[in-house]
Chains A and B, each alone.
Chain A
Amino acid sequence: MPDTPQTNREDKTLMTRRAFLKTWSLPGLGLAFALMSSALMGSAVHAEARNWQEVLDTARGQEVYFHAWGGEPGINAYISWAAEKVSAQYGVSVIQVKVSDTGNVVSQIIGEKAAGRETGGSVDLVWINGENFAALKRAGLLAPPGWATSLPNWANVDVENKPTVALDFTVPTEGQEAPWGMAQLVFIHDSARVETPPKTLAELASCAARNPGRISYPQPPNFLGSTFLKQVLISLIKEPSKLQQPVNEATFDEDVAPLFAYLDALHPNLWRKGAVFPQDSAQMRQLLADGELDLAFSFNPGDASSAIASGSLPETVRTYTFDGGTLGNTHFVAIPFNSSAKEGAMVFADFLMSAEAQAHKQDPSVWGDPTVLNVAALPAPQKALFDALDLGPATLSPDDLGQVLPEPHPSWVSQLEKAWLQRYSDS
C-alpha cells in the first residue's frame, strides 16, 4: 500500500492488544481464526436475510465519503473512475476525501466516538491497513465483523495464495475490511545510470560507501520508511521467529541492535548525510527523476511503469527486489462503526474487488497496483481483462518478484519508529 503512514505510539496502548493477541499470535492459528470467523459471520449475515439486493436498494442515492490517502494523482484519478462507475451502475455517489495521513482519519473517528457521535459519522469508508486497522479494531470503532466476506466479489479473492488478504499484519481481518490491492516492497533504479543495483543489504551499504549521497530511505514513521526498517530487521535479527510475536520489551534493544548498527554505518553515506530524509515514495521517485537519488522504493510493483507512462520517470528505469525476498502485504477498505452510508460503502467496496475494477487498477497507465483476486480461477471473459493488460517495461512478473516476506507483528512498527526517532532526531 502506498504510504499510508504509520505512527508511533506509546506502548501502553498496546497492552490490550497484546493481551488479546497472546491467544492468537501464531500466524497459522490467526489465519484459521480469520477464515473460520469470516465464514461464520458471512453466514450470519445471510441468516439475517440481508441479501445483496437489499443492500443495493438501500445504497441507491447514498453519499459515501471515502477517506483515502490523496498524495498520488494517478490513484485519485482511479478512485474518480471507480466513483463514476458505481454512480452509473448503482446510484451510489462516492466522494473521495483526500487525506495526507490515514492516521488523521483514525483520530477523526476516535474524536467522533469521544463526542458521542454513534451515527452520522463523517467517515463512511476508509483506505487502511496494518497499525491503523489494528487501532480501530482494538477500540471497536469498525462496523461489525463479516460484512466484507459477505460481498459477492469476495468469492474471487485469492485467500489461499495471498494469505495477507485475511491477515493484516498478523491481525485477523474477520471480515471487517475488504481487500483492495496487493503491495510488495520493490526498488526502482535508472538502468542508464546504475547498471547493477544493490541486491542485498551488504551491497546497499557498499554501494552507498562507494558513491555517497545517492541512497536514502523515506523517513519513518512514513509507511515505506518503516517497511525498510522492518526489511533490514528481518534480514539481520538473530531470531527471526520473534517478529511473529509482539515485541518483548525486555529484549527489544538487543533484538534491534543489528539493525541500528547497520543504519549507524549507513547514515553517513546517505543522501544529505542522513540529516534529511525523503518524506514518502512520491518524493523518492521525484528525487530519482531529478538524479539526486539512485534508488527509489515503492510498495507497488507497477509504480515505475506508471511513472514512465506519465513521463515523470525516464524510460530507462527498472524495478527489482532483493535477493531473498522483500516485505509484502495487502491494503484494504474498512467501514467505521458510525458510517452514515454503510450500504453504499459496501457496494463501493464490492465494486473495488470486481474483476473490472481490479484489472483497471493493475493497468500501469492507470495505477499498476496488483490484484487481490485469483485471476486463474476467474471466468474467461473476466480473466481476459487481465490477460489484455500490458504491464509495461518496468514491471516485474509475479515470478520475478520473488519471495514475499510476511509483515512482523504490528507492535514492532511503533517500537521501531520510536527507537529510530529517538536515535536520529535527538542526536
Chain B
Amino acid sequence: MTLRTGKFWVVLPWVVLGLIQLVPLAAGAIGLVLPLAVSPASGPLAPGFSGQGQASAVQLLLAQPGLSKSVWLSLTTGLFATALAFAVVVLLLAGWIGTRTLGMLRRCLGPFLALPHAAAAIGLTFLLTPSGLIFRALSPWATGLDRAPDLTIVQDPAGLSLMLALTAKEIPFLLLMALAALPQTRCEDYLRTAQSLGYGRFKAFICLGLPDLYPHLRLPILAVLAFAASNVDMATILGPTLPASLSVRIVAWMNDPAADLRTAAAAGAGLQGLICAVCILLWLAGERVASTAVKAIAVDGARGRADRVWKVVGLSLTWALFALLSGAIVSIALWSVARGWFFPDLLPGSWTLGSWRKVLLQDTGPLVTTVVLAALSSGLALLLVIWILETMSRRQLHNGLAPRESSALRAMMFFPLILPQVSLLLGIHVWFLILRADGTFFGVLFAHLIFVLPYVYLSMAGPWYRLEPNLLRNAQSLGLSDSHSFLQIKLPMLLRPLLTAFAIGFAVSVAQYLPSLMIGAGRWPTLTTESVALASGGARRPAAVYALLLMVLPACVFILATLIPAAAFRHRRGMRHSR
C-alpha cells in the first residue's frame, strides 16, 4: 500500500511536467501540420471562404513578396547576435575570471537581466534614433544640427540595430549562465594550471578552460540562438519593416482576415522552425570546427600574448553595451514624464505625470493582469519544480546515491526555449480555439507556465544539487523523516535560491509577449503587449510608462528576494552567500 502511494507520488510530478512541457509540444506540432495537410479552404484556420485555385499552404507562403529577405534576416540576426554575445562573454571571462571586476559586473547584471526585451527595444529606439537622446545630447553644440538628421539607425534594412539590441540584451543572460556554471566546472583550476605553464589569460581560457565550461553553456546558447532568430517583440520595434523578419510577418499573417494568409502563417511557422533548426545545426557545426581549431592551437606551444589589449577590449565592449542599455532606461524614464519635448532639447520642456496617473490609477487592467499572471505562473512553476526535484532526490538518496541532476530532465526543460515561440504558440493556438480556451485567463496562464517553468527549474536545479548530500544524510541519521528534513533543513537552507527562482520566473512571465497576445486573444492585455502595441506606433509617453513598469516590477521582486533571506539569516554567517 505504502509502496503504491509512494510510486504514485513519484510518477505524478512527471505526469504534470509532461502535461506542461511535452503535450504542448506535440499539440503544437500537430496544430502546425493540420492546416498544411488539409486544403486552405476547409482547414481549421480557414473556414467560410470558398476559394478557387486551392494553392497549398507552402505555395501561398512562397508567393509572399520579400520572403527570402525575411528568411535571410531571421537567419543572420539569430546567428550574428548569438555569436557576438558569446564572443563578448568569452572575451570578458578570459580577461577577468577571478578578478574583482568580474564580481562587480556580476552585481550589475540584475537590472539588465530584469529589463524585458520589449522595454529594452523601446528604450534603445528612444536613445538611438537621429532625434533620440544621444543626438540631443550632442546637438547643436557638437553636431551643428538644429534638426534631427536623416540617418537610418534603427529599423535599418540589414537588421543591424536589432542585432545590436539582441546582443546587448543577451550578454547579461549568457554571462549569468556562465558565472552560475563556473563553480560546477574545473574551469578555473585548468586556467591556473595553464597559467602556471606559462600561458596568457586568453589562450589559457579559450584553449584550455573554455572547453570545460562550454558544455554547460551550450543549451543556454542554443536558447538564445532560437530566441534571436524568432523573436517578435524586439523585431517589431527595432527590426526592419520592408520586409520584416519572418516571425514578425507570421504574426501579421496570422492576424490577417484573408484565409489564405492565415494558412501561409501556418506554413511560415513551419519555416520558422526550420530556420531555427538550421541556425542550431550551423552553430553545432561551428562548434566542431572551433573545437578542432582550438585543439590545434592549444598544442602548438606558443604561449599567447597581447593579453592586456584583449582584456580592455572585452571589458570596454561590455561596459559600452551596458551603457547603451542604461541610456535606454534613462530615455524611457524621461519620456514617461515628458510633455512637450522637441529636438534638440536634451530635457523635456514641460513635464507631466498624466501617463503614470492613467496607468496606475485609471486604466489598471494591464498592470493587474501582469502581476497576477506573473505571480501565479512563477509560484506554480516553483511548486512543481521543487516537487520534481524532491521526489528525484529522495529516490536517489534511498538508493544510496548522492542526488544528481538528471540530464534528460534538463534537456526536456530546454525544449520550449529552443523552439521558436511563434511556431509553438501558433500550433497550440489551434487547440485552444477548438477547446475554447483561447481568451481565457487560464489559457494565458498555461501558456505562460510553459515558458516560465524552464527558467525556474534552471535557476533552482543548481543550488538544489549543490546542497551537501551528507548534510541530508546527517539529518536522516538524526532520525528526521524525509518530510521533516525537507521542511526543516532543505527549504530553509534553500530560501535564497527559492526566492531568486521565483523572482526569475516572475520576470520571465512579465516579459512574455506572444503567449499573452496569441492565446489571450486580446482579452488579457499585459504591460508587454500594451507597450509593444504603443511603441510600434509612435505613442511614446504611455509606451515609456509601460516599459518602465516592465522593468520596475521584476526589479522589486528581485529586491524582495534579496532582502527577505538577508533579514531571516541576519545572525547566520554561513547563510550569507548564496549557495
A interface residues with partner B (beta carbon < 8 Å): 3, 7-10, 12-13, 15-16, 65, 67, 70-73, 76-77, 80, 97-101, 103-108, 110-115, 117, 120, 122, 131-132, 135-136, 139-141, 212-214, 219, 271-273, 275-280, 282-287, 289-292, 310-312, 314, 414, 418, 421-422, 424-426
0/1 string, B252-273, CB within 8 A of A gives 1: 1011111111100000000000
Q: Is the CB of B242 within 8 A of A139?
A: no
Contacts of B241 in A (CB 8 A): 219, 276-277, 279
For residue B2, CB closer than 8 A to chain A, the reply is: no
Contacting residue for B523 out of A65, A77, A107, A418, CB 8 A: A65
> Of residues B150, B342, B434, which shows the largest number of chain A Cβ atoms within 10 Å of its Cβ?
B150
Q: Is the CB of B150 within 8 A of A213?
A: yes
Binding stretch for chain A, among B41-49, B169-177, B467-475: B41-49
Sorted from nearest, which 7 A-B pairs have the closest CB atoms? Answer: A213-B150, A283-B538, A286-B538, A9-B258, A290-B131, A425-B66, A106-B257
CB–CB A73/B257 < 8 A: no
Residues of B within 8 Å of A425, CB to CB, are 65-66, 69, 242-243
The A-contacting residues of B in range 243-293, CB under 8 angstroms, are 243, 252, 254-262
Point out residues on B near A: beta carbons under 8 Å: 43-53, 55, 60, 63, 65-66, 69, 129-131, 147-148, 150, 152, 155-157, 240-243, 252, 254-262, 339-340, 342-343, 350, 352, 355, 358, 362-363, 433-434, 436, 438-439, 521-523, 525, 530, 532-534, 536-542
CA A424 to CA B131, docked complex, whole Å: 26
Q: Which residues of B contact A71 (CB under 8 A)?
A: 533-534, 537, 539
Residues of A within 8 A of B55 (CB): 10
Please tell me if the beta carbons of A122 and B438 are within 8 angstroms of each other in the complex: yes
Which residues on the B side are within 8 Å of A80 (C-beta)? 362-363
Give the residue name and chain of the B residue nearest to A10 (CB): B260
Q: Quote the shortest CB–CB distance from A111 to chain B (angstroms).
A: 5
Contacts of A214 in B (CB 8 A): 150
- Contacts A311-B339, A426-B65 known; list 4 others, CB within 8 Å: A104-B522, A277-B242, A292-B150, A414-B258
Q: Is the CB of A110 within 8 A of B262?
A: yes
| Closest-CB distance, B537 to chain A (whole angstroms) | 4
| Assembly CA distance A132 to B255 (angstroms) | 11
B51 proximity list for chain A (CB < 8 A) = 10, 12-13, 15
Indicate if the CB atoms of A111 and B242 lie closer than 8 Å: no
CA distance A277 to B48 in the complex (A): 34
Question: Which chain B residue has the least Cβ–Cβ distance from A116?
Answer: B434
Contacts of B260 in A (CB 8 A): 9-10, 12-13
Residue in A72, A104, A414 whose CB lies within 8 Å of B539: A72
The minimal Cβ–Cβ distance linking B349 to chain A, given in whole angstroms, is 9
Shortest CB-to-CB span from A175 to chain B, Å, is: 21
Q: How many A-B residue pairs have CB under 8 A?
A: 208
B257 close to A9 (CB less than 8 A):
yes
A15 to B258 Cα, complex, angstroms: 13
Whose C-beta in chain A lies nearest to the C-beta of B64? A421
Contacting residue for B69 out of A9, A108, A418, A426, CB 8 A: A426
Per the bound structure, the CA–CA distance linking A385 and B252 in Å amounts to 41
B433–A115 CB distance below 8 A: yes
Residues of chain A within 8 A of B536, CB atoms compared: 100, 279-280, 283
B516 CB, nearest partner CB in chain A, Å: 12
Known contacts A212-B150, A275-B242; decide if A290 and B343 are in contact (CB<8 Å): yes
Looking across the interface, which residue of chain A has its beta carbon closest to that of B42? Answer: A114
Which chain B residues lie closer than 8 Å to A8 at the CB level? 256, 258, 261
- What are 6 A-to-B residue pairs whose CB atoms are below 8 Å? A9-B256, A71-B537, A100-B532, A106-B257, A108-B522, A113-B48
Which residues on the B side are within 8 Å of A115 (C-beta)? Answer: 44, 433-434, 436
Most buried by A among B60, B350, B439: B439
Most-contacted residue by chain B among A65, A276, A424 (CB, 10 A): A276
Contact B257 A7 (CB under 8 A): yes
A421: nearest chain-B partner, CB-CB: B65
* Complexed CA–CA distance, A146 and B156 (Å): 49
Give min CB distance, A98 to chain B, whole Å: 6
Q: CB < 8 Å: which of B50, B243, B340, B342 contacts A291?
A: B342
Residues in B neighbouring A106, C-beta threshold 8 A:
257
Instruction: Provide the residues of chain B in CB contact with A312, threshold 8 Å.
Output: 339-340, 541
Q: Are B525 and A97 in contact (CB under 8 A)?
A: yes
Q: With A and B bound together, what is the CA distance between A70 and B262 in angstroms? A: 23
Query: In the complex, A147→B462 CA distance in Å?
Result: 62
Contacts of A287 in B (CB 8 A): 131, 538
**Which of A3, A105, A120, A275 is the one whose CB lies under 8 Å from B522?**
A105
- Closest A residue by C-beta to B536: A279
CB distance B533 to A276 under 8 Å?
Answer: no
Q: A283 → chain B, closest Cβ, in Å?
A: 3
Smallest CB–CB gap between A115 and chain B, Å?
4
- Determine whether the beta carbon of B152 is less than 8 Å from that of A272: yes
Alpha-carbon gap, A67 to B520, bound state (A): 13
A364 to chain B, nearest CB (A): 16
The answer to whether B157 and A276 have CB atoms under 8 Å apart is: yes
Instruction: Report the Cα distance A277→B244, complex, angstroms.
Output: 12
A64 to B353, CA, bound (A): 30
Q: Which residue of A lies closest to B157 (CB)?
A: A275
Q: Are B533 and A104 in contact (CB under 8 A)?
A: no
Least CB distance from B146 to A in Å reads: 8
From residue B243, how far is it (CB to closest CB) to chain A in Å? 4
Q: Are A282 and B539 within 8 A (Cβ)?
A: yes
Instruction: Please state if A282 and B358 are interface contacts (CB–CB under 8 Å).
Output: no
Docked-complex contact B258 and A289, CB < 8 angstroms: no
The reply to whether A291 and B258 form a contact with Cβ atoms under 8 Å apart is no
A244 to B450: give the CA distance in the assembly, Å.
51
Q: In the assembled complex, which residues on chain B have CB atoms less than 8 Å from the CB atom of A275?
A: 152, 156-157, 242
Alpha-carbon gap, A15 to B129, bound state (A): 44
